[in-house]
Structures are given as C-alpha cells and as structure tokens.
Structure 1
Amino acid sequence: MTEVNNSDELFADVNGITLCYQTFGDPKGKPLLLIMGLATQMIHWDPRFCQKLVDQGYWVIRFDNRDIGKSTILHDQKKPTFFSVAANQFFGKKLHVPYNLHTMASDAVALLDHLNISTCHLVGVSMGGMIAQCVAIDYASRVASLTSIMSTTGDRALPKAKNAVILKILQPPPKEPKAFLQYSLKLWKMLHGKHFKFDKQKISLLLQHARERSFNPDGVWRQTCAILASPDRTQALHYVKVPSLVIHGDADPLVPVECGIATAAALENSELLIIKGMGHTLPEEAWDQMIDSIVKLAN
C-alpha cells in the first residue's frame, strides 16, 4: 500500500468563517488545491489520489467548503424555502441566498492567502469545479491551471439530470445512522453507474466517516441554493486564459456530459477528456488517466 504523507486536520480563520483543511506532501512542491462538490467533504478526496499527485511533485491541499464537514456551519443563516427555489427555477424569480459560488471562491482564495500561496493549480469536482471556475474568473492571477471535473457552466439551457435522479438527490437524508448509510449507498451507487466496480465496503466506510464528521442537511441545502442563485459563467469563462482541462464521464446521471463539453467550449485554452463509462464519482480505475492529464496540463 502506498504510504500517504499528510498533515493533521488544520483550521484557518478566513473570510469571516473557519475552514478545515489538510495538506499532503512537501510545502516546497507546486501548490495544488482540491475543491470538493455539493454535500461532500474534503475526505471524499481519497488520500491515495492525493498522494499520487504528491508523487508528481505537488503540495496538495484539500478542505471542507463552508457549511460542510468541520468548516463553519452557518446555523444562523436562513435557508431558502423549497417554494422560493421552485419559483426561481420555473419563473426566474430571484433567489435570496446567504452566499453563492463566488463567495465560496473567495473562501478558497482566502485559504491560499492563509497558506502564503500566490498562485496554484486548481482541481474541482462537480460544485467544486464551479467554484474553481469562479476563482479563475474572479482571481485570474492566482490560478496557474484549472481542471474542472464533472461540472458545468451554469447555463440553464444545458441538459439536466433526469427527474428520478433529481428527486433522489433532493430527498432529505434519514437522521438515524443505519438508515442514513443505506440511503447514501443507494445514492452513491446510482451516481457511480455500472461500468466501473462499485466497492461497497470501501464506500460504506467513507460514508460512515463522513456521517461521523458532519451531518448537516441544512448546510447542503444552502450549498444547493448557492449553485442555483449563481449566474451563468459561460461568457466570463471566455476570458479565462489559463491552461484548462475539462474531465467528464459519458455516463454522468447528474451533470450530463453535454455540460462538460459546453464548459470546454467556453474556455479558450482548454482540453477535453471524456472518460467512457464514468458517472458522477471518481472511480479508482480512472485515477491514473485523470492525474496524467492534470500533470500534463500543469507542467
């Protein structure tokens, strides 16, 4: 088994909140910031994935976004109602939210400031890809390269997940740990798809760990609303000049592959990698292909 060289969980008071983060490798390496997606914590970046990047000369940082994991949970912030979200989606009514994706991008940059990192390579998955795009848009000088995985531009005209998938995602998770695990496993398997092996034992341990670190459905809903309230990034992405990589699975049931294709088209200096059979997870069998592409881009 590959030895993983990582720090303890650390905390940074930035941007009016506290972010929990962890580093892998030597701080003298090339900084690479990993940004995780909706409802997922930094632990969903597998340490062995992080170590593979370390082995390529990177100093890797992963962190919990606001409202998830051990970062600040915004209990005092109101969450938008389901009806206000429905009015936003169907009638275009403005959605009032405590923060949006650009706020979360400023969190990431504040963490870079805390770590005295002037520029870094960005890798974001799903919502994390959206946040990484916002960093590249709002803080261009801080980004050495951009990798957006299974993400989208925010263009509402792009294909959407099937209704059955959306309903499953929006279903409130059970509070009881055993029921939560059963619910989460079914959801994860649906997102993972049938092409790559589904390691039930490994995923069960990860989900149990995540449940023990943080159980905060209200925060997940606020994150969801942050996505919905953020503007279409397509035009702004045309002005992003840094080397960019878009990775997407052709079997993604949540963010259809057309969204990845549109993201690559919006980025002037981009490459597109479509992985056959990949859904909306990061299957271990595809790690080397992803990392090889990230490293090629960043060098």
Structure 2
Amino acid sequence: MKVQANGLAIEVEDTGPHGAPPVLLVMGLGMQLTAWPASFVETLVRAGHRVIRFDNRDIGLSARLDHLAVPNLLWEGMKVRFGLPVRAPYSVADMAADAFGVLDALGVREAHVVGASMGGMIAQRMALAAPERVLSLTSIMSSSGARHLPGPRPQVLQVLMSRPKDHSEPAVLAHYVRLFQAIGSPGYPIPPDELRKRIRESMRRGGYRPAGSARQMAAIVADTSRAQELRSLRVPTLVLHGADDPLVPLACGEDTARRIPGAQLVTVPGLGHDLPPGGVERLLEPLLPHLAVGSQR
C-alpha cells in the first residue's frame, strides 16, 4: 500500500497484529522492501511483533525523484578524499524523516528500528533525531561513516563501478548476479538459480533504477558528521555484522559499536553482505532478545 510520508508517496508492507510492538525494517542502497527475507519477517511476527517494511525513496514502488540531478559519484568521492563538502540531492537525514513519516502515517508513535547496510545508517539517523521514538536500534552490516574506515575489496569495487551493457532484462540480471555473488556470504552461498530468481522478481517489481541508487549513494557519502554524533546516543543498540563482509568490512561494524555507548556487537562468521538462508537465523538469535529488552523501556 502507498502512504504519504514526509511529502512523498512511499510503498509500505505492514504485517502482524497492530497492537504488537512495532519493528520498522529499513533496507539498504538500491534495495526494495522485498529484500527482507520472508523467513525473517515471519519469525519476527511469530515472536509477537508488528513488522513494517517500506521502499526507500527513489527505489522500488516509492516516489521517483527524477527531477533531481544524478550526481557524479567519482567526483563526489574525490571530494571526500580531500575533505571537501559533498553535494547530494538529499540526505540520509531526509531518508530518516521519510521513515518517521511512514510511522506517522500508520499511527505508530515508537518502534524498534532495524536497518541493513544503508538502512543501518538511516536507522542511526532516526535514533539521533528522535531517540524517544526509537525503542531499540539494530544496525546490520552497516557503518558509522567515519572517514578512516576501510572500503570494499578491490574486486567488489570493480563490479560496483561496472554497468550493464544495456537496460535489457538479461543484461541487468547478469550484472546483478555478478554483484550479489561478489558481496555474498562464503559460509551461506545462495544457489545460482535461486539468486537469479530473486533478482528477476525484484526487477519486475520495481524496475531498474540506477539514478535513484546514485542519489542514495551520494546521500551516504555526504553524511560525514554522523560518526561523531553517535557518541551521544542512549538508545539500546545491537550491531550485527558478518565476519566476511567484502563490501562493508567488519571494521565498520566494530567502529559503530565502539561509538555508541553500551552497544552490543555480534559478529557472524561466514556472513557477507546479504541476508541468505542460514545466515538470517544467525542474525535472529541475538536480535529477538534485543527486541524483547527494548520493549521494556
């Protein structure tokens, strides 16, 4: 269903009893709400939660912002290296305001916020902006955004910087298969046929939106102050990170946990930068008790 959130039409899925403690799931760069595995959502619902997912702005079935410029990511990345300000069409804080707008549209005052990758950054921004509305924070395979942290492995960066040879479904499918195989979990590999099926379903639902992904990436790059601000957080925080993440290395999760007072860090061996069968269950093991403690606030 569509809701109006922060002035934008945002696609939302709302699962579970409305009287249950709400869990807001925030997905990462260029990814749709359907990237949260059904088993993850179902387990949270069985544990007694209301689960709210949404497509971030510029992705999936949510508002396209094609009236905004497409940033030159190479140029903006160079500016970061030299400590120069980055210009982004919108900010991670704007995306956090979208997420609060989703909660407002559903009549939800406070929720557990669980974010993956860029979604973890958005979740951190939510907790900084309105901690009284965040029952607990969970940051999965994400980062504080501190400048000194390591980036993707060279082979992953090479795939990230490549583009499909055209916008046909076979070409885009082949591109994303290469990408997800490059960032996937060595301990929990997804069979190639299953991976292609997931990507094809995602493409047919929300289309290929490279301009939206570029604007989201610019927002990430421009969010340079969050690392210092995290020291002020007093929200119960769980940081989950794969030990074998080739896109956002484990050091990024470790840094996030160090910066947030009282944060718990759980490392999952064999997990990369995805949510594969087997790996999802390892993430749920610490997540469920964390949500139960946050609900007692």
- Normalised to the residue count of structure 2, the TM-score between the two structures is 0.94
Cα offset, 1:136, TM superposition:
0.4
Q: Which is further off, 257-266 or 155-164?
A: 155-164
Q: Is the 8 A contact 1:156 1:232 kept in 2?
A: no
The match for 1:287 is 280
* Cα deviation code 1:136-164 (max 9, x no counterpart): 01111110000000000000101111233
The match for 1:192 is 184
Residue identity matched to 2:5:
V
Q: Is the 8 A contact 1:36 1:124 kept in 2?
A: yes
The match for 1:36 is 27
The match for 1:223 is 216
Structure 2, unaligned runs of 5 or more? 293-297
* Cα deviation code 1:15-60 (max 9, x no counterpart): 1211001011111111000000001111101122101100000000
Distance verdict in 2 for CA 1:86–1:148, change over 3 Å: closer
The match for 2:201 is 209
Residues 55-70 of structure 1: pairs in structure 2 closer than 5 A: 55-70=46-61
Q: Is the 8 A contact 1:84 1:95 kept in 2?
A: no
CA RMSD across the alignment: 1.3
Distance verdict in 2 for CA 1:162–1:288, change over 3 Å: closer
Structure 1, unaligned runs of 5 or more? 1-9
Q: Is the 8 A contact 1:67 1:74 kept in 2?
A: yes
Distance 1:143 1:114 in 2: 16
Residues 1-299 of structure 1: pairs in structure 2 closer than 5 A: 10-173=1-164, 174-212=166-204, 213-299=206-292
Residue identity matched to 1:124:
G
Q: Which is further off, 279-288 or 247-256?
A: 279-288
* Cα deviation code 1:217-264 (max 9, x no counterpart): 111100110100112322211111111100001110010100000111
Distance 2:25 2:192 in 1: 25
Distance 2:119 2:23 in 1: 14
Distance verdict in 2 for CA 1:43–1:90, change over 3 Å: same
Distance 2:181 2:75 in 1: 30
Q: Is the 8 A contact 2:4 2:101 kept in 1?
A: no
Q: Is the 8 A contact 2:185 2:276 kept in 1?
A: no
Q: Which is further off, 137-146 or 155-164?
A: 155-164
Distance verdict in 2 for CA 1:201–1:219, change over 3 Å: same
Residue identity matched to 1:75:
D
Q: Is the 8 A contact 2:80 2:86 kept in 1?
A: no
Distance 1:135 1:294 in 2: 19
Distance 2:40 2:291 in 1: 16
**Percent identity for Structure 1 against Structure 2:** 34
Distance verdict in 2 for CA 1:287–1:82, change over 3 Å: closer
SS at the partner of 1:37? coil
Distance 1:254 1:199 in 2: 20
* Cα deviation code 1:157-196 (max 9, x no counterpart): 0111123312311222341101211111111111113221
Q: Which is further off, 211-220 or 52-61?
A: 211-220
Q: Is the 8 A contact 1:35 1:124 kept in 2?
A: yes
Q: Which is further off, 180-189 or 119-128?
A: 180-189
Cα offset, 1:83, TM superposition:
4.9
